Amino acid sequence: YSHPLIAVFARTASTREVRTMLLDQDGFLLALGELYESTREQGTVSLTFKQLKPDPEKDGNEVPCVLVRARSERRKISTRIERQDAGRFQVLLTATMRAACSNLEKVKKRPRHT
């Protein structure tokens, strides 16, 4: 099957330049780790999941899949996960997120007044 091209936007001094790149699952997880590392001191990374229904007429793909996107303030990445790869990807994504979230501070709760 063919992956959709992923557009990564980079700002230059005068224009907005679009570079296209193709990320497979392993490349996405490595880039996600780099995103988490670059925002360790300050910043956020958001993940979104979108279910894609198969459209055999458009792209010849008959297997349902999920589009996974990660975004920070400066960079956007995404990948496509098919049904048979979902379990493996979820295990690796969980490990990547746990490694990146090791220095979260515990929130102090205020006591409740009853």
Look up the pTM and report it. Answer: 0.68
- Helix spans in the chain (H): 25-38, 56-59, 86-100
Contact between 45 and 69 (Cβ < 8 Å): no
Average of per-residue pLDDT across 4-14: 40
pLDDT tier at 103, thresholds 50, 70, 90: low
Average of per-residue pLDDT across 20-33: 83
What is d(CA 96, CA 77) in angstroms, rounded to the nearest whole number? 15
Average of per-residue pLDDT across 62-83: 88
What is d(CA 14, CA 11) in angstroms, rounded to the nearest whole number? 8
Quick one: pLDDT at residue 61?
67
Reported as half-sphere exposure (CB side, CA atoms, 13 A), residue 75 has a value of: 16
pLDDT tier at 109, thresholds 50, 70, 90: confident
Quick one: pLDDT at residue 50?
92
Quick one: pLDDT at residue 56?
72
Quick one: pLDDT at residue 11?
42
Average of per-residue pLDDT across 7-34: 64
